[in-house]
Amino acid sequence: MSTELKIVDLEQNLDVEEIFNNRYVNPKKLNDFLVKNYKENLTLLGYSVCKKPIFKLSIGVGKKNILLWTQMHGNETTGTLSVLDLLKFLKNENKLAKEIFEKFTLDIVLMLNPDGSEIWTRRNIMNIDVNRDFLAEASPEIRILKNLVKEKIYDLAFNLHDQRTIYGVGTTNHSATLSFLSPSVSEDREITEIRKQSMGIIASIYKEITKILPNKIARYSDEFYPRSVGDNFQKLGIPTLLFEGGHYPNDYYRQKTRKYFTLALITALHSALKDKSTWKDNYKDYLEIPENSVSFYDIIYRNVALSEDVKNTVDIAIQYSEFIFPEEEDISFVAKIEEIGDLSFLYGHKEINAEGRRFYSENNKYPKINMEADFQLDEWVIVNGNKLESIV
């Protein structure tokens, strides 16, 4: 019998690695931290295009081997931050932490794409999407990851990502704070025995985390991506779980998401403590998880008038772009107009009813897709997407 999981207690007592309290993770800061605190656990695997080191951090003494990697997409740091919190959890004098340490060997690649991470881009420095490079192997980063599975047989793999704020849970007005996927291994999305194992573990995560994060967990599309890592690892016989950290209301720096993400990691490990033959037991419950949908914008202004002559109004949707500016410790958000028209079937994380106020802008007679969201709605002044409250 493995240790009981008490998710509410875990949530209340979970510590974060406070040295990393921004959403942005500087590669050098991360390396210095790992070398300082986990020197004996590190193996140098190779280098990125810009010659940044990429390490494997190994924790635990157990027989089950689990591979985890984060930030193959540079601007997706929640996995990295959560793994740092998981490492902190594993240092605890706690029964579950001890059992995880004794039963597993966790091989963790933190920040597979450090060049992209430094400048906050999804792709690597050569503009290759590392998660579409499994077959071509044009990036050194994918070769590093693939070499790992040539050296060792893994029982399980965790592929850790972030998703944009556009995702919601089914047709509801809840954002998808966490989404999961058991990737397909073929065009026909066949449910193989290996897939059943990762589906079963995801179903266990859903069952537990939904107790503390109701309505905000979804299942990512299982369309087959023949060039992606997860699909290919699962095809090679390694049960693979894709984690996607997403938006939680008013949490653009993803510190709440980070917490739920860490708890999902711990829950997944707890579930994998059981005998491997039982992992697939509840795989059918996976199919009951609501699907991820593209249903959100960051901000929607409803009922905006575009001209004096036309009575009918439109909605204007605004989406943030993320940047890391030189000398800044964390990312900045620049709001741009993303859509104009009838958005009645879509949601905004923030919605403002303009009640027929008319659009004005210095440079554009009408709102334009991709223009920065600085404009007026009659007496309202909108700066970087938000209404200035001081203007009456």
Binding stretches for Zn ion (CB under 5 A)? 73, 76, 161
Say how many Å lie between the first and final Cα of the chain, rounded: 64
Q: How far is the CB of 385 from Zn ion (least distance, A)?
A: 24
Q: How far is the CB of 71 from Zn ion (least distance, A)?
A: 8
Q: How far is the CB of 229 from Zn ion (least distance, A)?
A: 10
**How far, in Å, CA of 260 to CA of 212, rounded?**
9
State which residue, 30 or 354, has the beta carbon closest to Zn ion: 30
State which residue, 202 or 273, has the beta carbon closest to Zn ion: 202
- The dihedral over CA atoms of 66, 110, 12, 213, expressed in degrees to the nearest 10, equals -80
State which residue, 65 or 139, has the beta carbon closest to Zn ion: 139
Spatial neighbors of 318 by CB under 8 A, at least 6 apart, are 297, 298, 299, 300, 301, 335, 336, 337, 338, 373, 385
In 3D, which of 107, 129, 125 has the Cα closest to residue 116?
125
In 3D, which of 107, 112, 108 has the Cα closest to residue 54?
112
Q: How far is the CB of 73 from Zn ion (least distance, A)?
A: 4
State which residue, 76 or 338, has the beta carbon closest to Zn ion: 76
- At 31, is the secondary structure helix, strand, or coil? helix
Q: How far is the CB of 180 from Zn ion (least distance, A)?
A: 13
265 burial (CB, 10 Å; 0-12 / 13-18 / 19+) is buried
Q: Kind and range of the H or E element at 98?
A: helix 95-103
Q: Kind and range of the H or E element at 57?
A: strand 53-59
Q: Kind and range of the H or E element at 156?
A: strand 156-162
State which residue, 76 or 231, has the beta carbon closest to Zn ion: 76
State which residue, 113 or 175, has the beta carbon closest to Zn ion: 113
Cβ–Cβ under 8 Å, residues 202 and 241 = yes
Taking residue 390's Cβ as centre, other Cβ atoms within 10 Å add up to 5
Cα of 291 vs its chain's centroid, Å: 16
Q: How far is the CB of 86 from Zn ion (least distance, A)?
A: 19
State which residue, 71 or 198, has the beta carbon closest to Zn ion: 71
**How far, in Å, CA of 175 to CA of 349, rounded?**
8
Q: How far is the CB of 195 from Zn ion (least distance, A)?
A: 20
State which residue, 121 or 210, has the beta carbon closest to Zn ion: 121
Q: How far is the CB of 46 from Zn ion (least distance, A)?
A: 21
